[in-house]
Amino acid sequence: MLSRFVSKVAPRCNQSIRSYSTSQHFMTNNTTTFPSQHFEKYLTEPQTVDPEGRGYSYLVVGGAAAGLAAMAKNTVVSALSTMSPGQDILALSSVEIDLSSIPEATAVTLKWRGKPLFVRHRSAEEIALAQSVDVSSLVDKEADNVRAKDPEWVILIGVCTHLGCIPIAGGGDFAGWYCPCHGSHYDNAGRIRKGPAPQNLIIPPYKFIGPQQIIVGDE
């Protein structure tokens, strides 16, 4: 009976052993031969890698050139836009002023072309004081009748000729304008009388278009 059992089991064991050996041999062959074949194929096939990295260099140089071109364009556009006057300044290239609203012995500050504009209505005493000044004693020698087309009215650009500050009306030693930045004193005709300013306050182009009306910016 034992011999009969062995005769039935033995063929199955032998078959399992042969199957295991075949699988082991297949796995062994795979683990030993596949890397070798793959490595030989890697060595024999032509490679397409750029050893000097020229493609990457071209990409970097091209990107940098495009960036520099864009920066140069923006710089030129910004420079041109700053050189051209704004729409608000163009709209105020000339301005009409009604003088009847300015009381005697007072000065007002308006705006013209982005700059302060001084308009002074002088009294008879102020006119007499300005006309009595010895022109030869002035730093920037101008007579009063040259500074005012009508003795009652003085029209000036309100920018100090020293460093571009805005003088204060009614201040200083000569009751005209005073620049607190560096101590320039102007009389009621806008002439420099004391301080570092080298010139009188600038007179803008203007003309009378009526007894009590002027236009600034048009001669």
Residue 153 near residue 119 (C-beta atoms within 8 A): yes
Tokens 């030693």 sit on residue: 173
* Residue 219 to residue 207: CA distance in whole angstroms: 6
* Residue 41 to residue 76: CA distance in whole angstroms: 58
CA angle, corner 10, sides to 8 and 15, nearest 5? 115
* Residue 216 to residue 207: CA distance in whole angstroms: 7
> Which of these, 176, 198, 182, lies nearest to 118 by C-alpha position?
176
Catalytic residues: 182
Residue 99 near residue 121 (C-beta atoms within 8 A): yes
Structure tokens at 91: 């709209």
Residue 157 near residue 168 (C-beta atoms within 8 A): no
Structure tokens at 187: 């009389």
Question: Quick one: 117 exposed, middle or buried, by C-beta within 10 A (0-12, 13-18, 19+)?
Answer: buried
